[in-house]
Amino acid sequence: MKQIHNPESGHHLVLHIEDNEMNVELAYSIFEEMPGLELIIAADAKTGVSLARSRLPDLILMDINLPGMDGISAAKLIKETSETKDIPIIALSAEAMSDDIDRAMEVGFEEYITKPFKVSSFMDLINSILSGNRLKT
Ligand code: MN
């Protein structure tokens, strides 16, 4: 298995696949408060999947409603590729329908977060996943 990151470097790469500019701005402001984390953005799923393969981020934040391919299909592609299948993916969605959540969790998302979310809990979640201290529920 390909190593996703060097745990001793203290540096983590996070890929955010998000088409909404305000949400991208919010993500940048959150990540400014999180030293050691580098944020890269893809505005659509196709670009996101290809960045996941070329950059091998430590974590992916996936918007569900995207132009063209949706976030669930994109996550499925990422999970079907051996180089990227172990990258944790957090779903970020305005959809709170339980059918959507069920459909999403089948793909293997680490967590499903409904927007708007509490910034401090979001940061805690990212830190716990990246530090590998997260208890799988
Ligand atoms: Mn969107």
What does the alpha-carbon distance between residue 74 and residue 84 come to, in Å, rounded to a whole number?
A: 12
Calculate how far, in angstroms, residue 22's C-alpha sits from the geometric centre of ligand 1: 10
- pLDDT tens digits, 61-120: 999 999 999 999 999 999 999 999 999 999 998 866 677 777 777 899 999 898 889 999
- pLDDT tens digits, 77-89: 999 999 999 999 9
Calculate how far, in angstroms, residue 65's C-alpha sits from the geometric centre of ligand 1: 4
Calculate how far, in angstroms, residue 63's C-alpha sits from the geometric centre of ligand 1: 6
Neighbouring-strand partners of residue 61: 16, 90
Calculate how far, in angstroms, residue 9's C-alpha sits from the geometric centre of ligand 1: 32
The CA-based dihedral angle spanning residues 34, 42, 86, 78, taken in that order and rounded to the nearest 10 degrees: 170
pLDDT at 1 over 60: no
Calculate how far, in angstroms, residue 7's C-alpha sits from the geometric centre of ligand 1: 31
For ligand 1, a single-atom ion, the residues with CB < 5 A are 19-20, 63, 65
Calculate how far, in angstroms, residue 126's C-alpha sits from the geometric centre of ligand 1: 20
